[in-house]
A and B are shown apart, each in its own frame.
Chain A
Amino acid sequence: MPRRSIMLLLALVLAACGTGATPTETTPPAETPAAASPSAAPAATAAPLEVTSVTTEQYPATLTIMAHDSFNLSAEVVAEFERANNVKVQFLKAGDAGEALNRALLTRGNPLADVFFGVDNTFLSRALQGDIFEPYAPQGLDQIPAEFQLDPQHRLIPIDYGFVNLNYDKRSELFRDIANPEQLPLEELTKPKFRNAVVTENPATSSPGLAFLLATIDYFGEERWLDWWAQMRDNELVVVDGWTTAYYTNFSGSSGQGPQPIVVSYSTSPAAEVYFSEGQLTEPVTGNIFPPKAAFRQIEFAGILKGTPNRELAQRWMDYMLSRRVQDDVMPQMVVYPVLPSAQIPEVFQRFAPLPPQPAQIDPETIARNRDRWIQEWTRTVLR
């Protein structure tokens, strides 16, 4: 009898070690030999580009990209880079944009990855002040419009951009007698007609929430923006924690079938409704509301993390991010606009995701100086 209980315990120990330990062997994590990377890379350019089964073990080095949860690319686009540079590309997803950046800041000097993707212009100053990025001007940067290049030292390079603005449910009765809902001024929304009709995200916990708050500052000006929000609160504005809840639980235009016909979302969302409908829709059921200055432009940046042992490979990846191959892939995979003007955009997005005519503009310095105060004032006005 005693022997059986010991055997049972031993079995438990072995099983615990076994299941836990197996996966580690397949992934050499951050400490990939540094020596292997830069010198080994050039040889691969000549490698045959056939799509044979290239197993992961054949690549001598690993390049690690840290990104927020929404990052995506086509499998083939990543595979092409791997083949051309003889490297395995590994991705680390590290939470939403703010969380991912904080992880990078905490590991300064001993980074988790070689390249970081996903700092946006509302977090740009925090990232630059944290001094975690190496300056590098990738190939093709001269093709990128100057308005996207917010860091003159090229520590952070623009990759894509999008707009945060109001979406509305075209089927809602509220818009039946409005001739041009796209141009509906934000002032209208404080009228009794729109009582309990708008849902927004909390800017303290959500990046689109913060982006829309910034849009209202440009739209109304520093003196009047809080008054509008106070009136909106009185008009039973609904505030939720993040985009997913706002869009899928509260918004009536999406598949969640919630109660509010107006939501703070992205200018590409109506087109995405068609794109992700599997042929069910040919026309969006939702539309954008963007009168001048009511859409905030979010630019997303990438940079090489200080302390990377794979500097040269990281630079190649940065070059690749600005190449046509990746830039063509940005819209179909991430549903945001590519920064390269010549990049391709799928037809659905060309038709239904037009750029807002006159977006809100606030420079990152001003945002950095005032962000916490604005969020606190907003919180006091709208939530308490």
Chain B
Amino acid sequence: MPRSSARHHPLPWLPVLRGALFALPLLFLAIFYLYPLATIIAFSFRDVGWAASGLTAILTDSYFWGVIWFSIWQAALSTLLTLLVGLPAAYVFARYALPGATLLRALATVPFVLPTVVVAAAFAALLGPQGLINTLLQALLGRQALLNLQNTLTLILIAHVFYNFSVVLRLVGGFWANLDPRVEEAARVLGASRWRVWWEVTLPLLLPAVLAAALLIFLFTFTAFGTVLILGGPRFATIEVEIYRQAVNFFNLPVAAALSILQIVITLALTVVYTRLQERASRPLELRPQAVTRLPLIGWRRRLLAGAVIALIAVLLLLPLLALAYRSLTLGGRWTLAYYQLLSLNQRNEFFFVPPLTAVRHSLLFAGATTLLALLIGVPAAYLLTRRGALRAIFDPLFILPLGTSAVTLGFGYIITFDTPPLNLRTSPLLIPLAHTLIAFPFVVRAVLPALRAINPRLREAAAVQGAGPLRVLWEVDVPIVARAVLVGAVFAFTVSMGEFGATLLINLPQYPTMPVLIYRFLGLPGVTNYGQALAMSTLLMLVTTLGFVAIERFRLGDIGEF
């Protein structure tokens, strides 16, 4: 009777393994987040002392209050808009058997990886005074440049929706797909209207995933750097932009550090509120395989909704991407492959020349390492958060704080802490996936947590009663339910790494340039071929990323991903 003996004498090494797994995220954060952060903050205040520190300077200056206020409200607005646009799409992707859904979902995630300068150029080509839309409006209405969005809040908001749309699509959509539609059907049968079912049944069930998506989007836009600096122009500044200005342009480290602390405190406060809401919203659910929950695309109502969502994705997300690809393929109105050919030609015999395939390889290598690391750290972290107890109150915000921390501050922290053996990592390429993991693993945690919390404990109990050991319960109950969420986390980890630029440049050894680094190198020089090659490289980045997503979705952790 091997089964019953396993139940009565649990594997002795299991608690050790569990402890080691739980220690992994904590150790990682302690070494690669808390230690460098604490060191740079202490360093910044070393000479001035706390009393005369930047904190008082900030809190007594109305300018900084303006910056703080702008960061908060533009992020709130961006989050709201992204949810409004993303939720219908999440519904359609979760519930309907959409043709080409994988590719569409992949394309919708591509904006995440594009450098802001390139996106700015794409938007200028579309919405600028001489852009596509204005030219069209002019032809239709016969009036000059109606639309000028450059350096407006509107453009910042459009860009934020453009970048974060996929967070809602994947995070909420992934959860929604496994939600048992019979609950809604029951409510309908009992006579509730469509809206009432949505408001009183569906939304409350979805709330954990919606909250997780909202938190991530808020933090991403709250700490926005490139979009605000480049698209909004110099009139707008978030705390993150101000930290950069103070640290890099004025070398005023006390004020920069004080602003960083402030940003972390706000993040902390937000996470506490989120945790409360999240706890109240989570409930055990009957999650179902997607094959069962998915509806065929029949009837005019469903087709109309699906069509509208696809049209929205096309206009908001694909049009700018296509504009980029188009411009990389044309020269003076004629089709050409010249920029792509030039990419692999070291015509000026430059020392820093990198063949495009080498950059692709580096990008994929770093993204692969980041994805694995982020899963390895993020999944145990999510499990840690499902346990009851006082410690969770500390860990929950800790696992989100890296997203609210200034990259410049942390970057400076890295170079003054990891400067002696055994942690002399300042010029090690290992730092790139480590830094990327820091940004990527909160996505894994927030993707996995709602699914994990929704697992009905009765399922686990039932399995245990039937004699399954703890690992078997994990394999047969948890893994199938969480697999889709892990996949979502993996996609985001991959995306974050493919598109990340700041940290990569910080530790960039010219031997290991990534695709975004190469794009920036081309954009640093005037002339038609440099610009063309930047566009060609951006197009390659889109292509490689899309293929990467498709590959990850195919991999699906074996066959169980589809649940």
Interface residues of A (CB under 8 A from B): 1-2, 4-6, 8, 12-13, 15-16, 19-21, 23-24, 26-27, 29-31, 64, 69-78, 90-96, 98-99, 102-103, 105-107, 110, 112, 126, 202, 204-205, 238-242, 244-245, 247-250, 254-259, 265-266, 269, 272-273, 275-278, 280-281, 332-333, 335, 372, 375, 379, 383-384
Contact = CB atoms under 8 A, between A and B. Distances in A.
Interface string B290-322: 000000000000000000000000000000000
B351 A19 contact: no
B521 interface: yes
B510 interface: yes
Given A19-B369, A94-B508, 6 more contacts: A91-B510, A93-B510, A105-B251, A106-B415, A249-B121, A276-B529
B235 A383 contact: yes
B404 interface: no
Contact of A248 (B128, B372, B523): B523
Nearest to B468: A1
Contacts of B510: 91, 93
A72 B352 contact: yes
Contacts of B351: 72-75, 77-78, 91
Contact of B372 (A19, A29, A75, A202): A19
A204 B117 contact: no
Contacts of B416: 106-107
Contacts of B349: 74-76
Contacts, number: 224
Interface of B: 43, 117, 120-121, 124, 128-130, 150-151, 229-230, 233-235, 244-245, 247-251, 331-332, 338, 342, 346, 348-353, 365, 368-369, 372-373, 375-376, 412, 415-416, 419-421, 424, 426-430, 433-434, 469, 471-472, 474-476, 479, 505-506, 508-512, 520-521, 523-532, 557
Contact of B428 (A24, A99, A238, A372): A24
B479 A5 contact: yes
Contacts of B332: 280
A13 B372 CA distance: 8
A78 B508 CA distance: 19
A384 B338 CA distance: 44
Nearest to A21: B430
Contact of A280 (B121, B528, B531): B528
Given A102-B248, A105-B251, A276 B372 contact: no
B526 A276 contact: yes
Contact of A94 (B150, B424, B506, B530): B506
Interface centre among A240, A254, A281 (most CB of B within 10 A): A240
Contact of A277 (B235, B419, B528): B528
Contacts of B529: 276-278
Contacts of A254: 526-528, 531
A72 to B, nearest CB: 6
Contacts of A248: 117, 121, 523, 531
Nearest to B247: A102
B505 A241 contact: no
Contact of B229 (A19, A205, A247, A272): A205
A112 B428 contact: no
Contacts of A105: 251
B527 A1 contact: no
A268 B120 CA distance: 25
B467 to A, nearest CB: 13
Contacts of A273: 526-528
Contact of A99 (B124, B248, B472): B248
B371 to A, nearest CB: 9
A112 B524 contact: no
A19 B527 contact: no
Contacts of B348: 74, 332-333
Contacts of A375: 249
Contact of B419 (A74, A99, A102, A107): A107
B350 A75 contact: yes
A58 to B, nearest CB: 17
Contacts of A29: 424, 426-428
A170 B524 CA distance: 22
A91 B342 CA distance: 24
Contacts of B124: 249, 256, 258
A253 B430 CA distance: 42
A32 to B, nearest CB: 10
The list of the 8 closest CB pairs from A to B, nearest first, reads: A276-B527, A2-B471, A29-B427, A202-B234, A19-B369, A23-B429, A16-B372, A255-B531
Contacts of B424: 29-31
A75 to B, nearest CB: 5
Given A20-B369, A102-B248, A259-B128, A275 B527 contact: yes
27 contacts: A2-B475, A19-B368, A20-B430, A20-B434, A27-B429, A27-B511, A69-B521, A72-B350, A73-B351, A75-B353, A95-B248, A102-B247, A202-B234, A204-B234, A204-B245, A204-B249, A241-B233, A242-B230, A244-B117, A254-B531, A255-B527, A255-B528, A256-B124, A272-B525, A272-B527, A273-B528, A332-B348
A78 to B, nearest CB: 5
Given A4-B475, A30-B427, A277 B527 contact: yes
A383 B235 CA distance: 6
A241 B229 contact: yes
A16 B365 CA distance: 10
Given A73-B351, A238-B151, A265 B526 contact: yes
Contact of B471 (A1, A102, A372): A1
B94 to A, nearest CB: 27
Interface centre among A21, A74, A76, A93 (most CB of B within 10 A): A93
B505 A95 contact: yes
A126 B251 contact: yes
Contacts of A255: 527-528, 531-532
B372 A15 contact: yes
Contacts of B430: 20-21, 23-24
Given A12-B376, A69-B520, A276-B527, A257 B130 contact: yes
Nearest to A266: B526
Contact of B412 (A21, A24, A106): A106
Contact of B528 (A20, A75, A99, A276): A276
Contacts of A5: 471, 474-475, 479
A333 B350 contact: yes
A244 B524 contact: yes
A111 B249 CA distance: 21
A107 B415 contact: yes
Given A30-B424, A204-B249, A255-B532, A19 B365 contact: yes
Contacts of A19: 365, 368-369, 372, 433
Given A27-B428, A112-B427, A255-B532, A93 B376 contact: no
Given A102-B251, A255-B531, A383-B235, A91 B352 contact: yes
B472 A276 contact: no
B22 to A, nearest CB: 13
B538 to A, nearest CB: 12
Nearest to A69: B524
Contacts of A77: 351
Given A1-B471, A1-B475, A31 B369 contact: no
Contacts of A93: 505, 508, 510
A75 B347 CA distance: 11
Contacts of A383: 234-235
Contacts of B43: 106
A335 to B, nearest CB: 6
A255 B529 CA distance: 9
A259 B117 CA distance: 17
Given A15-B372, A103-B415, A107-B416, A2 B528 contact: no
